[in-house]
Amino acid sequence: MLYIVPTPIGNLEDMTIRGINILKEVDVVYAEDTRTSQRLFKHFNIETPLRSFHSFNEHKVVKNIVDEIKSGKKIALVSDAGTPAISDPGFLLSRACRESEVKVICLPGATAFVPALVSSGLPCDKFHFEGFLPHKKGRQTRWKFLGTLDETFILYESPHRLIKCLEEAVEFCGERRQASVARELSKVFEEVKSGSLNQLIDYYKSDGVVKGEIVIVVSGKEPELKKKKNKYSDQEEE
Ligand code: SAM
């Protein structure tokens, strides 16, 4: 079977005991960046061999990995941070395993969007995960779609595009929308800032250069106040 193992998004204490044990037990760990994972392995005394699995070679190596697992090798997949396949390589391998009837077990664990969503204070009973928007082509189309959503949506964005992204949110969703920016989650300078989109733009413009990793959470469209006739009067109720 294939184990998909989340790794910390900042704080190494977020690595689970089960994750460490699986990474020690398997024969090979495929990693997005073997040097990044090597540092994690050193910290937890994991000596399992690492091999590369990233967006540039995943199409090529997926079949080999499935064959390795079928021949009896125990294999795990990690990304640089968080859960593989969430805005990271992993989907192709998970799908290929399923298609070849190889069991896929994804351990629960670190990911950036869940703490960003839950700490935003915005409704999280339903939500849409968008991840990274395309930089140029297709960006407007995605924004047009996001602007129509009733539920909270989540974006991954780089810090130098934060203000541009918040301004686009105003353009496509209106300035009244509530939002939240989660920065450096689980790290020393963790900050979760909430407010209207305009308040957030003012805050980050006055804050100088924005640094660190960022998740943007935006509330959904306000439900239209339904107008219904009060059967006892001619007035409309909201
Ligand atoms: N696989 C990861 C996950 O499960 O969340 C996501 C990987 S994606 C390449 C990296 C993006 O995740 C960053 O650009 C940022 O938007 C978000 N991210 C990762 N670590 C973060 C952190 N500590 N604080 C805030 N956002 C973070």
* Segment 16-54, tens digit of pLDDT: 999 999 999 999 999 999 999 999 999 999 999 999 998
Report the nearest atom of ligand 1 relative to the CA of 6: 4
**pLDDT confidence tier of residue 161, bands split at 50, 70 and 90:** very high
Within 13 Å and on the Cβ side, how many CA atoms surround 18?
10
Q: What is the pLDDT of residue 55?
A: 85
- Average pLDDT of span 57-69: 94
Q: What is the pLDDT of residue 212?
A: 95
Q: How open is the CA angle 33-42-16, to the nearest 5 degrees?
A: 85
Query: Which of 78, 87, 88 has the most ligand 1 atoms within 8 A of CB, as the residue to mutate?
Result: 87
Query: Which of 9, 154, 216 has the most ligand 1 atoms within 8 A of CB, as the residue to mutate?
Result: 9
Q: What is the pLDDT of residue 225?
A: 47
For residue 181 the two structure tokens come to 């920016």
DSSP classification of residue 7: B
Q: What is the pLDDT of residue 223?
A: 66
Domains along the sequence of the chain with CATH: 2-106 (3.40.1010.10), 113-218 (3.30.950.10)
- Average pLDDT of span 90-103: 96
Least confident piece of the model among 49-53, 92-96, 195-199, 229-233: 229-233
Does the pLDDT at position 176 exceed 70? Answer: yes
Cα–Cα distance for residue pair 89/96, rounded to 1 Å: 13
Q: What is the pLDDT of residue 237?
A: 42
**pLDDT confidence tier of residue 214, bands split at 50, 70 and 90:** very high
- Asked whether 159 and 131 are in contact (CB, 8 A), the reply is no
DSSP classification of residue 10: S
Cα–Cα distance for residue pair 123/236, rounded to 1 Å: 28
In the 3-class helix/strand/coil scheme, how is 186-236 assigned residue by residue?
Answer: CCCCCEEEEEEHHHHHHHHHHCCCCCCCEEEEECCCCCCCCCEECCCCCCE
Least confident piece of the model among 11-20, 68-77, 183-192, 203-212: 203-212
Does the pLDDT at position 152 exceed 70? Answer: yes
Cα 216 from chain centroid? Answer: 10
- If phi > 0 it is left, if psi is from -120 to 50 it is alpha, else beta; for residue 203 that is alpha
- Residue 218 CA, ligand 1 centroid: distance in Å: 17
The CA-atom distances, in angstroms, between 162 and each of 73, 198, 200 are 43, 13, 10
Give the global pTM.
0.93
Report the nearest atom of ligand 1 relative to the CA of 110: 4
Q: What is the pLDDT of residue 231?
A: 52
């020393």: which residue's tokens? 188
Report the nearest atom of ligand 1 relative to the CA of 83: 4
- Residue 17 CA, ligand 1 centroid: distance in Å: 21
Q: φ and ψ at 229, to 5 degrees?
A: -75, 130
Inter-axis angle of helices 162-173 and 197-206, to 10 degrees? 160
- Asked whether 105 and 76 are in contact (CB, 8 A), the reply is no
Q: What is the pLDDT of residue 236?
A: 45
- Asked whether 235 and 227 are in contact (CB, 8 A), the reply is no
Q: What is the pLDDT of residue 224?
A: 59
- Asked whether 168 and 143 are in contact (CB, 8 A), the reply is yes
Helices (H) and strands (E) in the chain, counts: 8, 12
